[in-house]
Structure 1
């Protein structure tokens, strides 16, 4: 339990709060995983420190400590900051108020996406206090949460960075390619950081542009310790394919999410990336393939239609259902995952259903952001007919789908694509029994927590994408 000691039981107001918030933020260049930074603690104030005469009764039951930790974090996630604050002991309550709790939690969700769950609990005793350490899993990252409990309630609350040590997948040969940092122009004064990965000693190579999934994302698609887009880039470059990946505009730029459209969030920057890749000496202008993931896959036909000269498109886990339907289905799946739906899970499900209904009915005021965007985002996404757009294309299309994906599914999404395009000779469908939404292998019922276990995109997926890129670019040259 060396993450937490009596000298740092609570990061408090003033300079201490600054240190606390610094620990919740990413630092360094945009391509870095925001969970790799180290928390600043030099200005942390000492509070709630027990003295030799302090008598503290401890809770020996780890299950009870886990329950209390989940309850506190659940209140933060629900926006019940006053109620969460009431769980503090008197001294801690004086030093960290409800408004500061709101500031901290809002910053966490702004940078890491929606909160998903607590996992990896450790419990112990330090300095006469019961201490719980857990991993808070968000949509795009993790944080370590440390809570200390005394007889009067919570005496310490701390959020720390987690180690996120990505390692090269076994199928990547780092001697076979080079990488260079480039940038893409975006509207206003913003530019998107990008990485160009090019095979060594080749005269000509197929080119691939990777297009992100839903929400803000860096160029690597970082989720906890995993970097699926970097896996793909290194694996493809090891097989002779040039790859351009870039930071998403909603990650890299100061954008008004209440006004942004799907084209401003995804399509326009993907087209800019395609043009930038065509400037690479080894990539012919008609040898570029767009590889989209999740919403990036759904919009790949739109990108192809707008560009008009792509060699092909690859759709990794392409959503075909409406966004409101997917939100309802995903939350229902998670609520039922362990076979029971608890009261907090039902409350979360009810909130998700209300959010989905507001998106469906476009009940979003002009200046409000709901889930991932405002009324313009959801309106333009609803107006886009992905399957109809794909049917109008004459370029080769490859659909890849993990059978353990509960976010985009074989039954609800891939089946729709097959009904629309299954009779086309230049459209291919490939399924992978053991792969999840990020095309990483696993077993059993999939859930959010497995995204935060170190893993890599399956080699079979890299091989299939490389083979497709080589085939369609060879065909376009004939």
Structure 2
């Protein structure tokens, strides 16, 4: 008797668990590259097109968020004339993780996806706050925003949540995760208001000649802070930026002029094309290996870097690259007299140590704080090494409560 689709899925899951990647790849049909292409395109990830390396990342993502894989099971969920869908379950040391596996009628696995959906964090109590829709004007473009305001007190500080790179919405949605909703609801439960907003490039196309940090970040962040102060009726406004938003939040505070503080959650410490390719290796390697496309990726990186640093009339870098290079977050942070918080997520550490040490020089006074999230990844999720760039885009896990507590304590101490 031929094995059922559930049996095949279990064989695949065990092969992934045991690192038998040749056996795992063999279960996929001739169009296996489409699986990686789809996920890479949807989330703009540097995955390459090698299925084995994708499965290595998948295994690391499951283990990083859930612990060691102990057992594997599966059950058939749906069947059509063309496809059979099976739910594959990894029972792990700390929790379980599920995957949806689709098979064609020839028994080939043709797609993998995560059934995870967003759920609010357990540390947030929705009865403690109210939310209001707000519209921000951004050079003629309307940005949807949400003010989350505690109901227990009339006088509260307000944090403006500054999104990172890319077309980020007001919740900072990545896969099944909503980083800014977690932070907003968590802080509101701690009696701190927030305002979060759609990034301008998420709702409108910005011409290349206008893609400056001023248009992508600074102007809208300052306007959001001004609107937040009026909506919550407070003088205590802080900026809380994530990733590239953390890097840019220092300039927003400088332009705003009366910020109560700036918290930067895992801001990048090097500029585009500033490194030597080592950070690219750190990002792409998995299980101590680099994927087949690595050498070409490094070659492309070094070519772009050389072209950027040898500008001529016929070789002009993009407006965005120039804008990034002309902004120095360290100098801007050092110029501020307001309290600063740097929150480094250690599981995401890629930049050279000497670059990270610049923060120790800037934040060397009593008013500033450095937190190191030794078990946190770039999206503020608790996990463990080795990490994988697939974790936040495939699987759901809320922002760790420790981040909320640390932010709340710092905001109250600063305002």
Using the size of structure 1 for normalisation, the TM-score is 0.66
User: Contact (CA 8 Å) 1:319, 1:413: kept in 2 or not?
Assistant: no
| Matches for 1:69-108 after TM superposition, within 5 Å | 69-72=31-34
Q: Which of 192, 198, 205 does residue 241 from structure 1 map onto? A: 192
User: Contact (CA 8 Å) 2:180, 2:196: kept in 1 or not?
Assistant: yes
Q: Which of 167, 174, 184 does residue 119 from structure 2 map onto? A: 167
Partner residue, 1:116: 47
Q: CA deviation at 1:272?
A: 0.9
Q: Which of 25, 29, 36 does residue 63 from structure 1 map onto? A: 25
* Structure 2 residue 293 is matched with structure 1 residue 316: no
Separation in structure 2 between the aligned mates of residue 302 and residue 145 of structure 1, nearest angstrom? 46
User: Contact (CA 8 Å) 1:211, 1:270: kept in 2 or not?
Assistant: yes
Separation in structure 2 between the aligned mates of residue 352 and residue 180 of structure 1, nearest angstrom? 44
Q: CA deviation at 1:394?
A: 0.6
User: Contact (CA 8 Å) 2:100, 2:115: kept in 1 or not?
Assistant: no
Q: CA deviation at 1:337?
A: 2.4
Partner residue, 2:340: 397
Q: CA RMSD in A?
A: 3.9
Q: CA deviation at 1:182?
A: 1.0
* Structure 2 residue 323 is matched with structure 1 residue 420: no
Q: Which of 312, 318, 321 does residue 378 from structure 1 map onto? A: 321
Separation in structure 2 between the aligned mates of residue 292 and residue 472 of structure 1, nearest angstrom? 16
Deviations 1:179-238 (A, max 9, x none): 1111110123x2111111000031100010000111110111111111111110000000
Q: Which of 210, 228, 246 does residue 277 from structure 1 map onto? A: 228
Separation in structure 2 between the aligned mates of residue 223 and residue 294 of structure 1, nearest angstrom? 13
Q: Which of 422, 446, 460 does residue 402 from structure 2 map onto? A: 460
Partner residue, 2:12: none
Deviations 1:122-148 (A, max 9, x none): 9x9x9999999999xxxxxxx989685
Separation in structure 2 between the aligned mates of residue 358 and residue 233 of structure 1, nearest angstrom? 42
Separation in structure 2 between the aligned mates of residue 173 and residue 388 of structure 1, nearest angstrom? 39
Q: Aligned to 1:387, what secondary structure does the other structure show? A: helix
Partner residue, 1:439: 380
Q: CA deviation at 1:112?
A: 3.6
Partner residue, 2:286: 337
Counterparts in 2 of 1:214 and 1:443: CA distance versus 1, 3 Å: same
User: Contact (CA 8 Å) 1:317, 1:437: kept in 2 or not?
Assistant: yes
User: Contact (CA 8 Å) 1:182, 1:195: kept in 2 or not?
Assistant: yes
Deviations 1:59-101 (A, max 9, x none): x954324495554556xx5xxxxxxxxxxxxxxxxxxxxxxxx
Separation in structure 2 between the aligned mates of residue 320 and residue 62 of structure 1, nearest angstrom? 38
Counterparts in 2 of 1:355 and 1:468: CA distance versus 1, 3 Å: same
Counterparts in 2 of 1:134 and 1:390: CA distance versus 1, 3 Å: farther
Counterparts in 2 of 1:69 and 1:352: CA distance versus 1, 3 Å: farther
Q: Which structure would you say has the larger Rg?
A: 1
Gaps of 5+ in 1: 3-59, 78-104, 136-142, 369-373, 474-478
Partner residue, 2:161: 210
User: Contact (CA 8 Å) 1:292, 1:299: kept in 2 or not?
Assistant: yes
User: Contact (CA 8 Å) 1:259, 1:375: kept in 2 or not?
Assistant: no
Larger relative contact order, structure 1 or 2 (CA cutoff 8 Å, min sep 6): 2
Gaps of 5+ in 2: 6-21, 49-53, 60-73, 89-98
Q: Aligned to 1:338, what secondary structure does the other structure show? A: coil
Q: Which of 181, 195, 219 does residue 268 from structure 1 map onto? A: 219
User: Contact (CA 8 Å) 1:330, 1:406: kept in 2 or not?
Assistant: no
Separation in structure 1 between the aligned mates of residue 312 and residue 26 of structure 2, nearest angstrom? 41
Size of the aligned set, in residue pairs, is: 362
Using the size of structure 2 for normalisation, the TM-score is 0.75
User: Contact (CA 8 Å) 1:293, 1:315: kept in 2 or not?
Assistant: yes
Partner residue, 2:389: 448
| Matches for 1:279-294 after TM superposition, within 5 Å | 279-280=230-231, 282-284=232-234, 286-294=235-243
Q: CA deviation at 1:108?
A: 8.0
Separation in structure 1 between the aligned mates of residue 311 and residue 281 of structure 2, nearest angstrom? 22
